[in-house]
Structure 1
Amino acid sequence: MEITTVHPHKSELGEGPFWDGQKKAICWVDILNGHIHEYAVYTDEYKRYLTKKMVGCAAICRDQNFVLATTEGIGFLNRESGAITYADHPEKDVAGNRFNDGKCDPAGRFWVGSMALSEATGAGSVYMFENGRSSKKIGNTTISNGMAWNADHTILYFIDTPTRSVMAYDYAIENGTISKGRVVISIDVKEGFPDGMTIDSEGMLWIAHWGGWQVTRWNPETGTLLFRIKLPAAKITSCTFGGKDLRDLYVTSAKVDLTEEELKNQPLAGSLFVIRNSGYQGVPGFLYKF
């Protein structure tokens, strides 16, 4: 598999890639710099949105604007004007926390996790945002990360990074209720920490490994590691499918806290990578429904 970079930009903490099927663009965030990046792959057009806050994640709304979560709260970014309108902040009274990874669910609700800037154990939660309000779905998380839903929308997969595992929850699409949490994948310490995640058309999970130099593919029904793709950066943060027929695999990475020596050894750290015609196919991302 040939691994190339998508754009010259290198993020401090690249995260949360998502494919815009209408604009044929790959989007991703740089959490620490408060940027949302957009690159139209067939026209070579690049755009950067400045949130002026740490931005944990973003997703596309049905009106083609962004729903996003920053240290200022959860709200919407107008892609024409760049203006942000905040709707809710479920942790406005929690000092020292920020939002991290998040995605829209099959019903068009926005799910987002929080974490302590200090990475204190159990300081975070996962929230579901709809109709301008947030409700807590999972508590006592540490570093909320990857989320994915299975093909018949009955299971939510979720990663709390320090646990080195993938949880599965029974998921009710009609109201977003989750129950019966259980571990379906356990990851060995030598593989690095599980971070962001996506799912393919065969129901297999793709996991980015922070400190592991890789993306892996797993069968969540058996907990079996199917294969790995090695990458030229240690801090691999997330992945998603995009491009024609969703067959290109996009992978974000980070360069935050790397030493000068480490940066010399991995000059592409912080890049957005792509593996074109990966041999696998993703599924369309869900759009936020107002």
Structure 2
Amino acid sequence: MEEVPISVLSAEHCHLGEGPTYDVTTDTAWWFDIREGRLFEAKLGGGGIRTHALGRMASALGRIDADRQLIVADDGLYIRRLADGAMTLFQPLEADNPGNRSNDARVHQSGTFWIGTMGRKAEPGAGAIYALHRGKISTLFTRISIPNSICFSPDGAIGYFADTPRNVLYAVPLNPATGLPRGEPEVLLRHTGIGGLDGSVVDADGLIWNACWGASRIDIYSPLGERLRSLRVPARQASCPAFVGSDLSRLLVTSAWQGMDDAARAADPQAGCTFLLEASARGRAEPDVKLA
């Protein structure tokens, strides 16, 4: 496992840190504590970190424009105004199923937003993956237990997702213009050994950077599913990466203390912290989500 320079961006111990993203236009990183209903905002060039109480579980966001974000929450999609944090329901999502919540999500280059849901107690097969395409929600894949690793190839022609309990990463052919499937998912890799496939992001070379939950590392895979490198993370439950910085060469990694008892938390004192890895990556900026 490789060691790269690491700093702690936030020493706040997130119960379940997730959903990091980066707005290159404002040099601002965003991430969530799903369990505690919090959204974190960090100006990487200075200015500190702000914490926003959302009043509900939320797990991911997409930038709409300079003034608005689309928040993926446990009962629907909300438009959030950056100026005052006001949130307005845009569309419900599984609002009739209070046993579920949102999880991993990411915006395709076309502006289509892929969104995963799961049971609040990770009940087998309770979740699904949806697509918000031009303002309409459609179901892509069902009977997902814990959707993770939603990300896309640089040309937009391949989508990836994982079901963490199965420890399988799938690849599915997409229409690059819409971000919607044009074929069935196929197994790209089966993870074996310690840990499980959690959040992922794809760099400019098509390499898949995956947070290996339970293994204190980021694994980097080729588009063929070959593991090329592993980078150490100073928390056992790394949950999701995002490329950050003006040149997108650094890696922000969230983590969690979820499921740990007192002894486990004492043995993992940085569990739930948010880290910056000097990864020398060739990252890509996240696209804006399109609502219409």
TM above 0.5: yes
Cα distance in 2 between the residues matched to 1:72 and 1:272: 26
Q: Please point out which of 109, 113, 126 is paired with 1:110.
A: 113
Say whether 1:84 aligns with 2:87. Answer: yes
Gaps of 5+ in 1: none
Match of 1:263 in 2: 265
Cα distance in 2 between the residues matched to 1:181 and 1:132: 24
Say whether 1:61 aligns with 2:64. Answer: yes
Q: Which deviates more, 130-139 or 157-166?
A: 130-139
Match of 1:187 in 2: 191
On the 8 A contact 1:115/1:125 being kept in 2, the answer is yes
Any idea what SS the aligned residue of 2:96 has?
A: coil
Q: Please point out which of 43, 46, 65 is paired with 1:43.
A: 46
Deviation at 1:59, TM superposition (A): 2.0
Deviations 1:64-108 (A, max 9, x none): 421111123112111111111112123122230001011111111
Identity of aligned residues (%): 26
Q: Which deviates more, 92-101 or 63-72?
A: 63-72
Cα distance in 2 between the residues matched to 1:133 and 1:3: 41
Q: Which deviates more, 89-98 or 248-257?
A: 89-98
Q: Please point out which of 93, 98, 105 is paired with 2:96.
A: 93
Match of 1:236 in 2: 238
TM-score, with structure 2 as normaliser: 0.94
TM-score, with structure 1 as normaliser: 0.95
Deviation at 1:46, TM superposition (A): 1.8
Q: Give the 5 Å matches for 1:1-290.
A: 1-178=4-181, 179-188=183-192, 190-221=193-224, 223-276=225-278, 278-290=279-291
The 4+ residue runs of structure 1 with deviation greater than 6 A are none
Q: How many equivalent residue pairs?
A: 287
The CA RMSD over aligned residues, in Å, is 1.4
Cα distance in 1 between the residues matched to 2:133 and 2:280: 35
Cα distance in 2 between the residues matched to 1:56 and 1:207: 17
Cα distance in 1 between the residues matched to 2:94 and 2:59: 14
Deviation at 1:58, TM superposition (A): 1.4
Cα distance in 2 between the residues matched to 1:8 and 1:207: 22
Cα distance in 1 between the residues matched to 2:67 and 2:239: 25
